[in-house]
Amino acid sequence: MQRPRPNKLHDELDALLDGRPVELTDELAPLAEAADSLRAELATYQLAPGVAERHLERVLEGSGRVVQLPVRRPAGGWEVRRRVAAVALAAALVLAPATIASAAALPGQAMYPFKLAIEQLRIASVQWSSTREAGERTRVADARLSELKRLVDLQMFNQIGPAVTALAEAYRAAKDAVDDAKQDGAAGAEVAELNGKLASVQNQAISTVVMVSSSIQAAKLPSGSTRNAIEAAVHDAQTVLPPPAPPADATPTPTTANSPATSPPTDPSTSPTSPQNTAPASPASTAPPPTSAPTTEPPTTVPPTTESPPTSEPTTPGSAGQVGDSGGLAGADERTSAEAKDVPPTTSPPAP
């Protein structure tokens, strides 16, 4: 059998390594297998998130002059190792507060990009396992949710719109990752755990988005770009996190009597006194219990769509008041967007 010319073989191998379609001949097969083995081996080397944070600190803190690697000197290895240990300890003491600060950072704060970078690195470090990746992406979605709640508490209006968008994107990514894990044949217990966590995030996320949506109306937020941005973000997010469907064809009144007994299990992580009463769990699969909705909902409501505008939500002062029990937007009487910017963060990250 005639063997291909070396240059042709080189080109074919190069195309194969680039991922271009190439016929896998007998000549190429072992080479491709060797390349795959090497790639798989290299993929196991992942940069630890803490290390990444330290490197970024070195650059952004301006102290980034290249630190010389410890070089063994004639004085003896023990002495050098002692010095290196002292430097490492000092560096750890200096960087630890920054690490903590970045973990609590909110959008708009100086340390927030670090936080996002660390999340990306954590995801990258577990991408060899679809189950672990799903768990990590669910954790990221939960982090976005916590940030949104905190922004609402602090009335940082100018950040709420982007935070709603980020929450929707993170939830979508987590959901896709969980689906991938299922398709990859993750164990039943793992899938159940992932589903549980994702459902918890979903329920709380829907409640929070609904709360933001309904609170916009009650808050004395001046109409302008900030308000428009929040409304647009909420509208977009509701395609991913749809608001709970009102009781569609069930008769409204009889269900109120037995609703406490037949209400679906709510998420354990949500407070029973939280505004979840207006945003029940599992909007897609189960009909929510109309605890107080039937008294406020018009009986001739058109079947809801996922793109229901914020005005279709309960906008009575009472409902807004419920929302405000954790310092929601309804409590924003006198604060302006500019004032909200000045709200000091709970932690004080060092300026980069």
Partner 1 sequence: MLGFGGEREAVSKVGLSAADLVAARLREPAAVTRIYTAYAPALFRFFMASVGDRHLAEDLTGNTFVSAIEGLPRFRGPVEALGGWLFQIARHDLYDHRRKQSRTRIESLDENLAEATRSDATVDPEELAIDRLEGSRVLGAMRELSPDQREVLLLRMAGGMTAPEVASVLGKTTGAVKALQHRGLASLARVLGLRSPDETPQRPYPSPDPDRLTSQEDEER
CB 220 within 8 A of CB 332: yes
Q: Is position 69 an interface residue for partner 1 (rule: CB under 8 A)?
A: yes
Cα–Cα distance, 319 to 149 (Å, whole number) = 18
Q: Give me the DSSP letters along 102-113.
A: HHT--TTSTTHH
Q: How many CA atoms lie within 13 A of 141 on its CB side?
A: 30
| Binding test (CB under 8 A) with partner 1, winner from 24, 87, 89, 120 | 120
DSSP 8-state assignment for residue 326: G
| Binding test (CB under 8 A) with partner 1, winner from 48, 89, 96, 192 | 48
| Binding test (CB under 8 A) with partner 1, winner from 95, 103, 104, 121 | 121
- The span of 33-41, 187-195, 260-268, 312-320 binding partner 1 (CB under 8 A) equals 33-41
Cα–Cα distance, 148 to 156 (Å, whole number) = 10
Show contacts with partner 1 in window 319-348 (CB under 8 A).
none
| Binding test (CB under 8 A) with partner 1, winner from 22, 95, 103, 124 | 124
Q: Is position 172 an interface residue for partner 1 (rule: CB under 8 A)?
A: no
Q: Which two tokens stand for residue 293?
A: 């909705």
Q: Which residues contact 323 (CB under 8 A, 6 or more apart)?
A: 211, 214, 215, 218, 275, 329, 330
Q: Is position 307 an interface residue for partner 1 (rule: CB under 8 A)?
A: no
Q: Is position 27 an interface residue for partner 1 (rule: CB under 8 A)?
A: yes
We find the least distance from the C-beta atom of residue 178 to partner 1, in angstroms, to be 20
| Binding test (CB under 8 A) with partner 1, winner from 5, 21, 26, 78 | 26
Residue 125 or residue 259: which is nearer to partner 1 going by CB?
Answer: 125
We find the least distance from the C-beta atom of residue 32 to partner 1, in angstroms, to be 8
We find the least distance from the C-beta atom of residue 53 to partner 1, in angstroms, to be 10
Q: How far is CA 320 from CA 90, 217, 224, 249, 316, in A?
A: 50, 8, 21, 26, 7
| Binding test (CB under 8 A) with partner 1, winner from 2, 5, 17, 313 | 17
Q: Is position 171 an interface residue for partner 1 (rule: CB under 8 A)?
A: no
- 3-state secondary structure at position 20: coil
Give the x-and-dash track for 97-116 against partner 1 (CB under 8 A). Answer: -------------x--xx-x
Cα–Cα distance, 119 to 113 (Å, whole number) = 10
Which amino acid is residue 153, in one-letter code? Answer: D
We find the least distance from the C-beta atom of residue 67 to partner 1, in angstroms, to be 7
Residue 73 or residue 82: which is nearer to partner 1 going by CB?
Answer: 73
Which is nearest to 206 in space by CA: 296, 145, 271?
Answer: 145
DSSP 8-state assignment for residue 156: -
Task: Kindly state the greatest CA–CA separation across the chain.
Answer: 89
Q: Which two tokens stand for residue 117?
A: 């970078």
Cα–Cα distance, 344 to 352 (Å, whole number) = 17
Q: How many residues bind partner 1 (CB under 8 A)?
A: 58
| Binding test (CB under 8 A) with partner 1, winner from 5, 21, 23, 73 | 73
Q: C-alpha 10: how far from its chain's center?
A: 44
Q: Is position 173 an interface residue for partner 1 (rule: CB under 8 A)?
A: no
Show contacts with partner 1 in window 49-68 (CB under 8 A).
51-52, 54-56, 58-60, 62, 64-67
> Binding residues for partner 1, per CB under 8 A?
3, 6-7, 9-11, 13-14, 17-18, 26-27, 29-31, 33-35, 37-43, 45-48, 51-52, 54-56, 58-60, 62, 64-67, 69, 71-74, 76-77, 110, 113-114, 116-117, 120-121, 124, 352
